[in-house]
Structure formats: structure tokens, C-alpha cells
């Protein structure tokens, strides 16, 4: 199509899974004849892909939408807004009355119909009933997130994801491998496999839905993805594994497959058995310590990221202190700390024994201080080492251009970065770097010729 139908501004909030969904919608709209805008004043329409995991994320999504509406109203051009993703999925029935500034709402499971929605808002008339959304994702940059599943079956008492995203459903391996190959052919140097609960990928497949020889669990899928990227020197990372998903086969696959990075992201939330049960999760401190000890013994040099939640209803000071001691004993390389958020509609929101807000914040600060102490030390421990670094971008500083990248032990957008003393490289290049200094979660590196 020679003349674009219109220009679309994309704003993405929340996690990497939303980034994937935005990439998908962008690819669909590009294939349908729309171009991308990078400023509200240049856009014919804007898409805000929202997050509603926490109340604060919902507020940010709504505030961003209203700020955009006000910005557009103050400008010369009129730019209708389409709100997509988790907020419409969670509050869809109430939103049209609450947000008249928004022209259309698209739930997370309706995003493959984005072309018809944008056409409708802009008054584009054409026949798209037979349109099949089988376009290739286009990703600018060295890293691409690939969703291998969506939804969740856990129904943790503090979480609304199953109600927002629906029940767990695995994506078939053929489409995953095909997308990985396309992304690698487009220059991507790291594939990050994500989902709400990646460890149980494939468990929802019926026997008749899986071809002979096709992957049936995450370990087998990792080996298939590794085989697909092997000729191209591409890294493979998997995120969001639950403790129950760490099977012997998966552990051995991560250890024995060179393309798969020895990096594990396991959100434990807590270590106290009573609190975990109240969260509708399983396990105990001893079981978790045994798991992480086993991982470190079986995968030498493994890097471990986790998540801790403090201030869950009825959490006592002793139980909080146990969590702090657990974090210190295990010594996570990276830890995200959250103060419990009383989410409307969740089971935990109805529990008695809600912890005082000030107490929650004090506990969160102490846990974050410990997480930073451990994380800063883990980062500093790499000083003097040499490792490969993927170049993610070039940043202009007062002293000139500076390359920014990440090493294998740093998940993109999560764990800090590597600042390089070279300027002549391109995004996606993989350089051998010697780490010469560190500050907080950041490393300074010298490119080794």
C-alpha cells in the first residue's frame, strides 16, 4: 500500500509481556497499511497498552491516558485514543462511562482484532472479514521477548492475573519456533521466553494436539529453541519459573545447553509456610532453600533472581524477620521487593488482619535495603572477569558517545547494564568485555580487542 491509512502512536505500560502484545499489534497494523508515529502531534490515533497487575499500575495507566488526552486537546490535531490490555480486561464494562476521552477499549484477548478497531475509529472502510493475522513481528533492538503462554491457573490470593488474562494456555511449539527464527533472521541476538508461569508450558496440551517428536514440556521446548538459534550465536533466556516447575529435566537442560543462559528467575514471594498457604501457594523455607542449594550445585555459576512480598495480611514481625533471614541466607543475585497491595476483587483483599500501611512500607524498605546490598555485591563480584556483552544502544554523554549493553547475567531492562569505553559498534554486536569497575547494579567495561 503506497499511501499509509494513518499514523499510530504506541504507548506501552507494564511488563515485557505487554511489550510483546504491542509488537504484535504494531505488526498487524503495519501489514494492514498503517505507519508508526512517535509524537502525539504527528499521530492520527494512539494506542495505550495498559497494565493492571497492581492498583498503582492501574492508576498509572489511567493517568497516562488522561495526560495524553489533555496533551492532544491542547494541540492542533485531534488524536483519538484506544485503550488496550489489562485495564479493559479487568474493568471493561465500567470504562466507557468513566473514560469518555477514550474512543475504544480492547481487552487483552481481543487484540488480534486491532485492525478492525482502528479502522472503525478512523472511519476506514474496507473488507477485512477474511483477514488472517499471520504477520511477522518486527523488533528493533538486540533483544526480543517471545510469549510461550498466557493466562494463569494459580489463583494466588493476592493476584488478579487469572481474572484479567484468563486460564493458562500454552502456545504451540511450531508458532514459537517460527517466530524465533524470524526474529533471529531480523538481527535479534537474545531471545527471552516469557509467560505467567513458563515452567508448566505444554501441560495443557492434549495428546492429539502434539505431533510426534514435538516438544511437550519446557525442557524440550528450550532444546528446540536452542537448536533453531544455534547457527547464529544467539542467547536464550527463560523468565518467570515457579518453584514447582524446576524439574530435573529442566535443570539438566539449562546446564547442558550452551545457548540457554544459566539464569533463573523464580518468584518465591515468601518463605514462611503459613503465609505461603494463605497466599494459595505451596512450599516452605526448607523446601525453597533445598531448591536453591540444588540449583547452585547442579548449575555452577548460576545467577538467580527472585521476588519477595512483604506485609501480606496477618504477616507477623517474626514471619517478616524469617523472610529477611531467608533472603540473606540464599543470597539472591537480584531481588524485586513489593509491599502487598490490597487488590480489589482478590481473595486477600477480604482477609482479616490487613497489615498497617506504615508497617508494610517499613518492612519493604528493610527488604529492599538487603536486596540492594546483596545485588550490589553480586554485581561487584564480576569486576575483573571477562564476558560477552550484547550492545543494546548508544548513549550521548558530555564526553561523547557511550555504548550501553548487558552481559549474560543481566536480564534486559531488569538487572542493570554494562557501560563500555568504546563507541564504534552497532546495536546487536556481541563484544568481549573485561569489567573494570561497578556502581550499584551497573558495570563499567573495557572492550578486549
Instruction: List binding-site positions for [4Fe-4S] cluster.
Output: 15, 51, 86, 152, 156, 159
Spacing of C-alpha 116 from chain mean position: 27
3-state secondary structure of 296: helix
What backbone torsions phi and psi does residue 388 show, to the nearest 5 degrees?
-80, 145
The DSSP annotation for 324-348 comes to: HHHHHHHT-SEEEEEE----TT-TG
Angle between helix 248-256 and 218-229 (nearest 10): 20
Q: Which grid cell sits at 65?
A: 491516558
Contact 103, 46 (CB under 8 A): no
Q: Please, which contacts does 76-80 make with residues 24 or more away whose CB atoms are closer than 8 Å?
A: 76/41, 77/41, 77/43, 79/9, 79/40, 79/41, 79/43, 79/44, 79/45, 79/46, 80/45, 80/46, 80/104, 80/121, 80/122
From the list 428, 431, 429, 430, the residue with the least C-alpha distance to 141 is: 428
**What is the Cα 49 distance to its own chain's centre?**
14
What's the burial of 297, exposed, middle or buried (CB within 10 Å: 0-12/13-18/19+)?
exposed
What is the rounded (10 degree) CA torsion for 142, 147, 148, 150?
A: 170
**Binding site residue list:** 15, 51, 86, 152, 156, 159
Cβ atoms of 48 and 65 closer than 8 Å: yes
Closest CA to 51 of 63, 67, 66: 63
Closest CA to 281 of 295, 298, 267, 296: 267
Amino acid at each position: 500500500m503506497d499511501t499509509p491509512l494513518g499514523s499510530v502512536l504506541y504507548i506501552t505500560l507494564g511488563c515485557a509481556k505487554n511489550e510483546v502484545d504491542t509488537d504484535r499489534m504494531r505488526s498487524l497494523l503495519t501489514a494492514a497499511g498503517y505507519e508508526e508515529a512517535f509524537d502525539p502531534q504527528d499521530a492520527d490515533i494512539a494506542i495505550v497498552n495498559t497494565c493492571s497487575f497492581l492498583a498503582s499500575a492501574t492508576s498509572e495507566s489511567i493517568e497516562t491516558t488522561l495526560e495524553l488526552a489533555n496533551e492532544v486537546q491542547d494541540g492542533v490535531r485531534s488524536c483519538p485514543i484506544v485503550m488496550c490490555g489489562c485495564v479493559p480486561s479487568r474493568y471493561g464494562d465500567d470504562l466507557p462511562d468513566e473514560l469518555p476521552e477514550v474512543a475504544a477499549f480492547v481487552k487483552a484477548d481481543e487484540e488480534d482484532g486491532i485492525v478492525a478497531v482502528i479502522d472503525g475509529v478512523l472511519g476506514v472502510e474496507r473488507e477485512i472479514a477474511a483477514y488472517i493475522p499471520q504477520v511477522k513481528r518486527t523488533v528493533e533492538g538486540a533483544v526480543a521477548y517471545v510469549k510461550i503462554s498466557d493466562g494463569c491457573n494459580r489463583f494466588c490470593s493476592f493476584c488478579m492475573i487469572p481474572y484479567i488474562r484468563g486460564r493458562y494456555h500454552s502456545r504451540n511449539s511450531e508458532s514459537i519456533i517460527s517466530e524465533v527464527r524470524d526474529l533471529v533472521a531480523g538481527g535479534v541476538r537474545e531471545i527471552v521466553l516469557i509467560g505467567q508461569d513458563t515452567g508448566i508450558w505444554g501441560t495443557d496440551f492434549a495428546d492429539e494436539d502434539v505431533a510426534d517428536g514435538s516438544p511437550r514440556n519446557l525442557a524440550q521446548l528450550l532444546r528446540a529453541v536452542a537448536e533453531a538459534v544455534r547457527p547464529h550465536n544467539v542467547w536464550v533466556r527463560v523468565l518467570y519459573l515457579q518453584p514447582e516447575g524446576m524439574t530435573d529435566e529442566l535443570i539438566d537442560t539449562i546446564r547442558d545447553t550452551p545457548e540457554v543462559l544459566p539464569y533463573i528467575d523464580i518468584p518465591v514471594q515468601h518463605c514462611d509456610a503459613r503465609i505461603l498457604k494463605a497466599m494459595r501457594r505451596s512450599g516452605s523455607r526448607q523446601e525453597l532453600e533445598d531448591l536453591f542449594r540444588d540449583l547452585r550445585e547442579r548449575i555452577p555459576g548460576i545467577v538467580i533472581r527472585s521476588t519477595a512480598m512483604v506485609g501480606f495480611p496477618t504477616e507477623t514481625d517474626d514471619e517478616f524477620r524469617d523472610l529477611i533471614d531467608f533472603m540473606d541466607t540464599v543470597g539472591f543475585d537480584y531481588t524485586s521487593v513489593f509491599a502487598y497491595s490490597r487488590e480489589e476483587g482478590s481473595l486477600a483483599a477480604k482477609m482479616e488482619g490487613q497489615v498497617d500501611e506504615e508497617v508494610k512500607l517499613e518492612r519493604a524498605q528493610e527488604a529492599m535495603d538487603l536486596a540492594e546490598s546483596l545485588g550490589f555485591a553480586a554485581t561487584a563480584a564480576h569486576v575483573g572477569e571477562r564476558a560477552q556483552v550484547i550492545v543494546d544502544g548508544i548513549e550521548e554523554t558530555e564526553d561523547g558517545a557511550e555504548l550501553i549493553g548487558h552481559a549474560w547475567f543481566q536480564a534486559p531492562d531488569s538487572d542493570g547494564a554494562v557501560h563500555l569505553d568504546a563507541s564504534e559498534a552497532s546495536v546487536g554486536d556481541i563484544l568481549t568485555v573485561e569489567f573494570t569497575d561497578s556502581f550499584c547494579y551497573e558495570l563499567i567495561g573495557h572492550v578486549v580487542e
